[in-house]
Amino acid sequence: MSWITINSRSGVSDSFVSLPTIDQKRMLPKGSLPINVLDVNDLDRVLNESPELFFDGGKKETLLIEGYYPNKFGIWATHKVYRITYQVNGRKERIIAKIMDRECGAKELRLLSDLCKTSKVPTPFHFLYDEQLEEEKFSDVKGILFMSYVDNRFHFEEYLRKWCVTGQKNLELKNISESLFDIWSVGIKHNDLKGEHILFTGKEWFVIDFEKSKSFVGKEDVKDELVVLIGDSTVYLDRFMAYNKMNFEGMIKERYETFLDSFLPLFDFTFGYNKYIPTFETSIQNKALKTAYSTLKVR
């Protein structure tokens, strides 16, 4: 995941200033916010005055604000996500600030509060929302969900690409199935299980971004989740291969098939046809890779 420095105690960063104006606008929050998420002094006040954010004690001082700038072949994240580095008791810590509307923010706060007790998900701390702005008829009022930062090395689609292309030694997948079963077992369907929503710390996998989740129904929901996860990550691999002028053959083909053979049995049921498979088949440009992904219909 790529983060670009936006602001700090020393001011706006050169890396942010050097971005094209249109890219700067993509990174900045839109609508009326309860605080200016780019103001280090405002963040100090919130981190120190909100009771829910006394999670590690001591006075907090914001040092650095970074925005999520995904290096994904020109495709931008749909959320405004900020990583805040602050200092407390002489040590540096990080926290995530995610810009959300009121309904989605309250929903994700509630879900994460329940899930973090048993599942590998971020710990939510506080959803900051200024109801007075809404009462005064400000347009497009947004809130900020503060949650723990998952110190990840890469997300699932990057992991699949590294496994297929760079000859990575181990394929560590079991913890993913455990994390997903933990979530499904409490009646929640993630409903947006893309590769970038599953993060690897180097030891374990975390699932993030639950604002589109809904009630879990049954095995067909499991199939939906996994087809979308594999499909999204396969499209990412397809785009990477096209960008680097690679063919789906040799080690890449062998390792992709090994991934499917290793991953699918963890969920212990027959796949077969699924309504989302044709959508991803349309998006995969490499014919050989498309054929390999299509084997989901007969597994």
Final residue in a domain of this structure, among 96, 119, 148 = 148
Distances (CA, A) of 61 to 39, 99, 101, 196, 282: 12, 21, 26, 30, 49
Quick one: CA dihedral 20, 199, 228, 78, positive or negative? negative
Write out the chain's pLDDT in tens, 299 residues: 588 999 999 999 999 999 889 888 888 988 899 999 999 999 999 999 998 888 778 899 999 999 987 666 655 566 789 999 999 999 999 999 999 999 999 999 999 999 999 899 999 999 999 999 989 988 889 999 999 999 988 899 999 999 999 978 888 887 888 889 999 989 999 999 999 899 999 888 999 999 899 988 777 888 899 999 999 999 999 999 998 999 999 999 999 999 999 999 998 777 788 899 999 999 999 999 999 999 998 87
Q: In what order do the strands lie in the sheet with 61-68?
A: 11-12, 3-8, 61-68, 80-88, 91-100, 143-148, 124-128
Burial class (CB in 10 A: 0-12, 13-18, 19+), 238: buried
Indicate if 105 and 231 belong to the same structural domain. no
pLDDT at residue 271, as a whole number: 79
Say how far apart CA 191 and CA 186 lie, in whole Å.
14
Indicate if 24 and 139 belong to the same structural domain. yes
Selection from 225, 205, 223, 198 nearest residue 214 by Cα? 225
pLDDT at residue 30, as a whole number: 85
pLDDT at residue 22, as a whole number: 86
Indicate if 35 and 159 belong to the same structural domain. no
Contacts of 84 (CB under 8 A, 6+ apart): 43, 62, 64, 65, 66, 94, 95, 96, 97
Final residue in a domain of this structure, among 90, 117, 148 = 148
Distances (CA, A) of 290 to 235, 238, 242, 293: 9, 9, 13, 5
79: containing domain: 3-148
Indicate if 175 and 273 belong to the same structural domain. yes
Quick one: CA dihedral 225, 230, 233, 236, positive or negative? negative
pLDDT at residue 72, as a whole number: 61
pLDDT at residue 74, as a whole number: 54
pLDDT at residue 269, as a whole number: 72
Q: Specify the 3-state DSSP secondary structure of 181.
A: helix
Total domain count, the chain: 2
pLDDT at residue 173, as a whole number: 86
pLDDT at residue 169, as a whole number: 81
Indicate if 113 and 217 belong to the same structural domain. no
The separation between CA 223 and the C-alpha centre of its own chain, rounded to angstroms, equals: 20
Residues 113/125, Cβ–Cβ less than 8 Å: no
Helical pair 250-263 and 156-165, crossing angle rounded to 10 deg: 130
Indicate if 159 and 292 belong to the same structural domain. yes
Indicate if 217 and 292 belong to the same structural domain. yes
Say how far apart CA 248 and CA 256 lie, in whole Å.
9
